[in-house]
């Protein structure tokens, strides 16, 4: 219950970034994200709809290359990575 409330509260405040040096464009994050945040563009996985992110962290869990960084907008500290 608290987890759902947390995800609702931070929606629109999450900054999702892909480290292009680490990303292998495997597409696992696209499949894992139910909010359609990631898409393939010109052969690369990019963040297309970052404002839809609810901070569930599933993308970070499936990225074995640790290429996804999740932080709160206007805050320095990463909450995942
Ligand atoms: S799961 Fe990680 S390595 Fe794979 S496309 Fe997404 S960010 Fe890139
Ligand atoms: S944290 Fe969740 S909603 Fe946000 S991009 Fe990752 S999988 Fe999608």
- Calculate how far, in angstroms, residue 11's C-alpha sits from the geometric centre of ligand 2: 10
pLDDT of residue 81: 47
pLDDT of residue 12: 78
- Calculate how far, in angstroms, residue 18's C-alpha sits from the geometric centre of ligand 2: 12
- Please state the pTM of the whole predicted model: 0.83
Give tens-digit pLDDT for 41-76: 999 999 999 999 999 999 999 999 999 999 988 754
Q: Whose CA is nearest to atom 4 of ligand 1?
A: 26
Domain that holds residue 46: 2-80
CATH classification of the domain holding 67? 3.30.70.20
- Per-residue 3-state assignment (H helix, E strand, C coil) for 6-59: HHHHHCCCEEEEECCCCCCCCCHHHHHCCCCCEEEECCEEEECCHHHCCCCCHH
Q: Whose CA is nearest to atom 6 of ligand 1?
A: 29
Please, which pLDDT band fits residue 4 given cuts at 50, 70 and 90? low
Give tens-digit pLDDT for 20-43: 999 999 999 999 999 999 999 999
Indicate the number of domains in the chain. Answer: 1
């Amino acid at each position: 219950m608290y987890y759902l409330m947390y995800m609702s509260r931070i929606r629109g405040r999450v900054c999702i970034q892909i480290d292009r040096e680490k990303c292998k464009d495997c597409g696992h994050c696209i499949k894992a994200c139910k909010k359609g945040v990631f898409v393939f563009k010109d052969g690369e996985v990019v963040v297309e709809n970052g404002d839809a992110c609810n901070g569930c962290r599933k993308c970070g869990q499936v990225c074995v290359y640790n290429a996804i960084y999740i932080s709160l907008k206007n805050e320095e500290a990463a909450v995942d990575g």
